Amino acid sequence: MDGVRELRATRPEVEPALEPLRLSPPGRAAGDWDWSPDGAVAVASSNDVFLAQPSPDGSGFAEPAACLVGSERVVGLRFSPVGKRLAVVRKRSLLFLAEGPDVREVALPGEAAGQLAWSPDGRLLAVPFCEGDRVDLAVVAAPDGEVIWRTRTDAAEGQPEWVGSRLLFARSDRDALWYEWVVADLARGEEEVWLREEDRRGVWVGVRAAVSPTGSAFALTAPVDGWNHVVVCDLRTGQRRVPLPGEHEDYGHAADRPDFSPDGGRLVFSSSAGNLKERHIWLYDLERGTCEQLTREPGTQVNPVWSPDGRRLAYITCGPYHSAELAVVAVGDGSGEAPAERRLTRSMPAAWTREAVVVPRAVSFPSADGRTVHGDLFVPQGLDRSRRHPAIVYVHGGPIRQMRYGWHPMHAYAVFYAFNQLVLQHGYVVLSVDYRGSTGYGVEYERANYHSMAQGDLEDCVAAARHLASLPFVDARRIAIWGLSYGGYLTLACLCKRPDVFALGINIAGLWRVDQWAEWVAARHPGVGNVLAHRAGLGRFADDEAAFEASPANFVMGLKGPLLNLHGTEDESVDYAQLDRIVEDCVRHGKDFAALHYPGETHMFTKRETWQDAFTRMLRAFDRYLRPEPEDRPPAMI
């Protein structure tokens, strides 16, 4: 609300028109949060933790009250599944809170580095941490804080989950060449590798594992036959099963994961089976071995979560006419009838009617090397197709992302989808491109940017412009390109290496020098593999030519078109010094550019006024350089 991230809840049994319940303190940004076994909610906000207690009649919550105030940022928090103990992790300390005023604080072996996981009996807590250039995993006894077990390897360990009394976690290579999922029996001191993936091109560790409440099975997402699928691992039999094989992805987005039913007999997950540009919720019956599709609303349905009684699922839904909303679906009764889906929230502004929204059309086109590139074409309603119009190529970040049929469940891409809708209202044709390196089209497509960053993926963006130029209603001389993060990076690369294709580029928080960024990341996250640095030609299998090609800065002399750069000074994903280098190099070589920094802003800007300013400037730049005929364009960026 008004640029502040809030935590809210709603009750499925009430009408969706009622205002969702606010669980975070007013005016404070909500961070990590968790439910207690008795229904209270703890919310982290910067350095403090607030607790919202349910009302006696169950109709709402009391005003959130501070239960912990500190001078150091809260990294994470989790309630114990047994009792009322709350674990709170700061940078170098672990705090145990129980009923009453007492707080037990213990020192961590290093700096906290990831999610927490309580054992089912509430006696042990798994905590990833950094110590020097190592990323290890410790198991701490509550509440005295004694470290009873820890890893000591050259690899990085994290993403802990308890499977009964055993600990499941991911172990990954420092150069991002392999990862494996390991089950550790702490009592016996034994480890067993259940799944391992290795590829010289670099691998990303999949989404968080899901664990059966019975402690007998867990589910992972991993490449199978060239596609990312859910894999169910049965600890009793040692079997690994793929519920829904085929040429599709069982992967919603970066924060999505499968979920087991309360009785452990069923598993739900998001899949693109049937349409690679959409996601739907599927139900897998472990005993029967059957898989059925639960949701069918056009668009994307992700993040399924079971109700405690196992009769309903809550999930996030997006579509061509609405952004992310909360919905529920009743689990099928086996009759073969499609279960009813019901949206609980309706937060789209009244002005965003079905008539005002432009629905994308999936397109594909060849890149320079013949590889098929995927994208979404948006054509303004009522466009006069008898004449040629300006157009814009939108490049997503990541690069491990995929744009969807309609709004995206991730906040950043929902914001950009909305901005592209605004651009369409101004008469610009838009093509959103899923260049090589994107997810959603199989493992080979996602890893095709190995030693080809700002080369193959750049040519995919150029191919998007060529596809636009082939349309009879688009003017090839008036095509712009823009994006944030990796999208900003490819924008910079396109303007420097293929300067005659685009009339304008807008870079938000993109990479100018990949080597500089890789060093910055290594200093912030020591011991953690950097897949992009590896694919750029840095690291163990260094390729000097690929590394040189990967940095747009090495091609600044080729920059012709006007370039607008925007960056937040507190960017947590791309070092702000990238903007300094852009300014320095462009000034030295007399290039046409403008640069603007936003004090205190993060990678994905958080303040409403920042986006209002940025989008206004972007629209102004589009109008300034794309509307006039090329010979009438202004002489310089201002």
State the pLDDT at residue 18.
56
State the pLDDT at residue 267.
97
State the pLDDT at residue 524.
86
From CA 84, how far away is CA 17, in angstroms rounded? 33
Q: What is the pTM of this model?
A: 0.93
* CATH 3.40.50.1820 placement within the chain: 361-632
**Residues lower than pLDDT 70 in the chain:** 1-3, 12-19, 58, 99-101, 332-339, 638
State the pLDDT at residue 16.
53
From CA 131, how far away is CA 221, in angstroms rounded? 29
Pairing of β 372-378 and β 134-141:
unpaired
By the 10 Å C-beta count (0-12 exposed, 13-18 middle, 19+ buried), 521 is classed as middle
Query: 361-632 adopts what CATH topology?
Result: Rossmann fold (3.40.50)
From CA 220, how far away is CA 258, in angstroms rounded? 8
* CATH 2.140.10.30 placement within the chain: 199-357
State the pLDDT at residue 506.
98
State the pLDDT at residue 15.
53
Pairing of β 389-395 and β 65-68:
unpaired
Q: Which residues of 217-247 are buried (b: 16+ CB within 10 A; e: fewer)?
A: bbbbbbbbeebbbbbbbebeeeeebbbeeee
Torsion of CA 112, 118, 124, 129, to 10 degrees: -10
The candidate with the shortest Cα–Cα distance to 181, out of 191, 169, 173, is 169
Residue with structure tokens 């054992």?
Answer: 119
State the pLDDT at residue 205.
83
From CA 314, how far away is CA 111, in angstroms rounded? 35
State the pLDDT at residue 256.
92
SS3 164: coil
Pairing of β 563-568 and β 593-598:
parallel
Does 199-357 carry CATH code 2.140.10.30? yes
From CA 380, how far away is CA 115, in angstroms rounded? 44
